[in-house]
Amino acid sequence: MRALMDALLKGFIVLGRLTVRWPDGKISTYVGAPGPEALVEIRTWSTIRRFVMWPSMAVGEAYMDETLRPVDCSIYDLLDLFMVNLEAETSREPVLWVQDRLAYLTRWFAQFNPASRSRRNVAHHYDIDGRLYAMFLDRDRQYSCAYFSTGNETLEQAQEAKKHHIAAKLKLDRPDLEVLDIGCGWGGMALTLARDYGARVTGITLSVEQLGVARARAAAEGLADRVSFELLDYRSLARRFDRIVSVGMFEHVGVVHYRSFFETVKRCLAPDGVALLHHIGRSLGPSTTNAWFTKYIFPGGYSPALSEVMPAIEHAGLITTDIEVLRLHYAETLRHWRRRFAANRDAIASMHDERFCRMFEFYLAGSELAFRHQGHVIFQIQLTRDQAALPLTRDYIGQSERPSERVARQSVST
């Protein structure tokens, strides 16, 4: 089996340098054109068999189980080397190609997320002890891509800017607009729209943990009369809203349900209303979700290409009025999360265990590198039902984000 893996690595490493220490102590080195370098120790022969048979699952599991150990480098360095080679046109990994094709053909089942399955999927990731997320997110617990104007902002500044950037696209130009927040998380976006823009917000989530925190925050900030949070699936909505926002939730919907999602948006959006969808997407066309991520991090999750989203929007009869692509913003966000997780690793390990910490390290590093190397981006799609619902140009977005405008709006809302 080592001979087969040796042959695969010789064809795979075309950029950088990979040094492998085998279970018997022998060392092999694979060198391509200049690029990232890493040294890895493989501790068991069974790990090698799994690498050959199912590499997309085996690398993450072996790191979690410590049968694969980066030496004098981090899991980030090792994944960086792997990913640049995965994206190299001259690299060849036939097992991965075959597995990707099979996953694509069966993804309708993997992404079949009726209400009951959606609740289980959400609980898998979001109903973990809430203290975990406080240890690597910003103070507002924004668990989605931040907005970096220069790249030098703190995480808190960039997450605050993200919320106001989205609010500007919602055009909250008068107080008491009724806003729906689909997938409201721990409530930060909803509370900002109520506090800073005078909106009346209904946030929905499938996470019991997030619901409790969001409701407590609304009460603590004296906003319970303007913000309500409900444990509710988006398909159950029947009310009309002036504005609809969804940030970082669409990745959990699944391709099978896109038409249902946008039909719900159309049904619940006022005739002159505005909706804003913020989600992870792919700039290189349709694909599949990595098997390890599906099992351990986001079951039922998928980040789509625009070509998979736009037909459902058109079928629902919604009008696309603006699309913005945020390219490396999420890579920078994840860099902040990864470093904060590392700074609090001992405390997190005491709450969970070492295997959990390695799982999260693999998740954060792999996610960041997907945005750096694999064409992952953020799409912000603005939608209306009426061509005349928004100004002729998008100048109003930048104007609304100016600090002077925000201060004036806050004085009116209070």
pLDDT at 99: 58
pLDDT at 125: 74
pLDDT at 201: 98
The fold for domain 2-98 equals Nonspecific Lipid-transfer Protein; Chain A (3.30.1050)
Instruction: Band the pLDDT of 373: cuts 50, 70, 90.
Output: very high
SS3 content of the chain, % helix, strand, coil (to 5): 50, 20, 30
Q: List, in order, residues 6 or more apart from 80 with CB less than 8 Å away.
A: 36, 38, 369, 373
Residue ranges matching CATH 3.30.1050 in the chain: 2-98
Task: Look up tokens 């619902």; give the residue.
Answer: 389
- Signed CA dihedral, 75, 78, 80, 82: sign only: negative
Q: What mean pLDDT do residues 135-158 have?
A: 97
Instruction: Band the pLDDT of 2: cuts 50, 70, 90.
Output: confident
Please report which residue ranges of 183-326 form alpha helices under DSSP H: 188-197, 208-220, 258-268, 291-296, 306-316
Instruction: Band the pLDDT of 403: cuts 50, 70, 90.
Output: low
pLDDT at 91: 55
Q: Give tens-digit pLDDT for 282-336.
A: 999 998 899 999 999 998 899 999 999 999 999 999 999 999 999 999 999 999 9
Q: How many CA atoms lie within 13 A of 149 on its CB side?
A: 12
Q: Give tens-digit pLDDT for 231-261.
A: 999 999 989 999 999 999 999 999 999 999 9
pLDDT at 108: 60
Q: Give tens-digit pLDDT for 83-130.
A: 999 888 665 556 555 556 555 555 666 666 677 777 777 777 777 777
381 - beta bridge partners? 277, 323
Mean pLDDT of the chain: 92
H/E element, 270 = strand 269-282
pLDDT at 61: 97
pLDDT at 240: 98
Q: What is the DSSP letter of 66?
A: T
pLDDT at 37: 97
Residue ranges matching CATH 3.40.50.150 in the chain: 110-413
Q: List, in order, residues 6 or more apart from 189 with CB less than 8 Å away.
A: 142, 163, 166, 181, 203, 245, 247
**By percentage, how much of the chain surpasses pLDDT 90?**
80
Q: How far apart are CA 336 and CA 396, in angstroms?
A: 30
pLDDT above 80 (res 369): yes
Q: List, in order, residues 6 or more apart from 64 with CB less than 8 Å away.
A: 355, 358, 359, 362
pLDDT at 409: 55
H/E element, 342 = helix 329-343
Q: Which two tokens stand for residue 77?
A: 């360095």
**Which option is the CATH number for 110-413: 3.30.499.10, 3.20.20.80, 3.40.50.150, 3.90.550.10?**
3.40.50.150
Q: Which two tokens stand for residue 256?
A: 């099978």
